[in-house]
Amino acid sequence: MLANTIVLNATRAPVTAATIFQSDTAELTRFLTPELKEGRNVLKISDVSGAIHPDSPRLSGAPDGVRVVDVVCHKKAAGEDPSIEVGAIMKRGKALYAEREVRRQQVILLDDAARMKMRQISPELAGGEGILEFVERYGQRKLALQRALQNLDEEIGALERKLVARKGDASALIIATVVADRDVKVSLKLTYLVSGVTWRPFYDLHATTVDGQPCDDISMRYCATIVQCTGEDWNEATVTLSTTDAQAQRQLSVPVLRPLKMGVADGRVPANSVGALLGQSPAAPMLETSGPATAATTAPPLVQTSSAVQGSISASHVPRSPFAPLEHSDLDSRRRNPLEFVRQMSISRRMNVPSPPSPSPPPPHPPAPGPAPTPGSPVTALPLQTPVHSVSSLANTPSRSALSVAYRIDGDVTIPSDGEEHQLTVALLKFKTKLSYTCVPRQSPNVYIVSKVENISKYDLLPGTVNVYMNDSFVMKTSIKFISVNEAFDCVLGVDTSINVTYRQDEKTAHGPRHNFADPQKTTTRTMVTTIINRHNHDIPELIVRESIPLSSEEDKVNVILRKPAGLASAKDGQIILDRVETDDGQTVHAKVRWTEVLDGNGGEKDGLFEWIHAIPAGKKVSFEAQWDVKSPSEARWAEQTVYVKSS
């Protein structure tokens, strides 16, 4: 019995749902409604994304009496015909190109006829009515031809831009065998995985001020940037963003536990260790010497120049339309990959450069977000990103499972296969924050407005870039790490330019007497004075001033003794003591001082990092003083060094 063949075009069954994973992969869903005959039916579904995973197509939703017995995915080779859409564009373009050539020939013939006519006219008849009428008719026909040529050029250019703008191709074919026990019209759900789709989160944090003072209420727009080059446009589809790595899930397995045995250690580095492979010794702390005699040096950045821009472009090259008749030298390129050949010809015509001999590589993936800044570190204001396409939507409550979190975007979303960045709003979040002001005068004279935000929403905040806006004006760009629900994080809102900071260092050295059986010693007293002036017309409720005391070095026989803040040397991590600070009117007030919080094993007493916490009244000046003695051999030339520790 012969099978009933049903040909379906995927473009007539648009994508209804797309779930995008964090692995350059998405799952697409569309519904097919074939009319089946009793017995064996073969469904040929054409114009499916060429980026499809061949083993992923699934047909489901068959009613009783209907069975899907086989599904095969066929990806067209480079020499096969392009998709129906591309083929239609090519056919239309060739027709327009042929018409344009005819119009050009008409212009040439019209000019030749006019010259012949003028040579046949005698001088005494040159000003007659017949001549004037001929000139008028010639002008009208010439203008009509010029307008027609202009319209043809515009239409051909639009088709070329459409070909160039389209990323990916819809060249795959899915063949499914379905057996039915009766004639029936069914609705089948087709799902499959495709490559060429990425999404990454980013955030717009909006803060406001009242009478020049930041408010405690802030809002955050949770956004996602989506790029797709599948060759299939998503028109009014339901989009879900998943934190699952689809590639990792497909290759996931429980690690195998290997047996162990004891052996004698001989000090050799295992052959498979990273250090042995790279020829490196164990890493030592990175030190940077600070002081007036040491200049910081920075290695110049490495710059790579693309080989594509190193060659010269011939000015005599004449660009050619992809719809023009092919020369013999172009036939092999056309056969290898017709769609890529069309794109190269289109780009060549627009840029007036020769078409490249081989297809160019696909665009790179969007860069991963940078590391989050550590509290108190200087923050650099960056320019806004290149404008991207924006789609505004809101998401439902995230769907959680043991493996991932998924965010379903409310409303239908349209994302063409153009390789451009499209922005979607996932959610609008409201937060209550605690504001503080932080400065690190040893490193920078700036005072940073820091907002401590608690994530009380239902959304986990994934690592990503944060664009900070104050009163709807862009301030700076920063980033966050993964923030789970109910977890707090610090976000710098900007620099307060109305708080002035000065930092002064004094040093005095006294040499001890010489002894017969001991090296002479010297004591250097270093004093650091930080002066803060609040030029606001409102009080600063909490200002954090951070300072560091250098650590002693037993190896170099250098001992450091903390004198001020008084009592801090005997305090433990987390203990707050009161320190006497001076104001501009000569009064002495008490400020809180403590060792900094220990985060991931860094900070606190063991690293010599401490901070004052104090309110600064409007228009007032407060000075904080730190002092320590450095005892060392008289001949020793010591210097303070910055130790860089690993951050998580």
pLDDT tens track for 215-271: 888 899 999 999 998 989 999 999 999 887 755 455 556 778 878 877 665 544 444
Domain boundaries of the chain, sorted by first residue: 82-165, 499-633
Say which amino acid occupies 476. Answer: M
Return the structure tokens found at 308: 């594509």
The pLDDT value recorded for residue 88 is 75
83 or 641: which carries more pLDDT confidence?
641
Model confidence at 280, pLDDT cuts 50, 70, 90, reads: very low
The pLDDT value recorded for residue 171 is 83
Task: For residues 321-335, give the mean pLDDT.
Answer: 50
- Is residue 354's pLDDT more than 70? no
| pLDDT tens digits for range 466-476 | 999 988 889 88
Q: Which stretch, 286-295, 314-323, 413-422, 513-522, has highest mean pLDDT?
A: 413-422
Phi (first) and psi of residue 632, to 5 degrees: -155, 165
pTM listed for this prediction: 0.60
Give one word for 127, left, alpha or beta, with left for phi > 0 and alpha for psi -120 to 50.
Answer: alpha
| pLDDT tens digits for range 512-544 | 777 766 778 888 899 999 999 999 988 898 899
CA distance 190 to 180: 18
The pLDDT value recorded for residue 156 is 82
| 94-122 burial code (b ≥16 CB/10 A, e <16) | bebbeebeebeebeeeeeeebeeeeeeee
Task: For residues 319-336, give the mean pLDDT.
Answer: 50
* Residues in CB range of 37: below 8 A, 6 or more apart: 4, 180, 183
The pLDDT value recorded for residue 289 is 38
CA distances from 571 to 526, 574, 575, 595, 604 (A): 21, 8, 6, 8, 11
Whole-number CA gyration radius for the chain: 37
Task: For residues 153-162, give the mean pLDDT.
Answer: 79
The pLDDT value recorded for residue 314 is 37
Distance separating the N- and C-terminal Cα atoms of the chain: 67
Q: Closest Cα to residue 16, out of 237, 226, 205?
A: 237
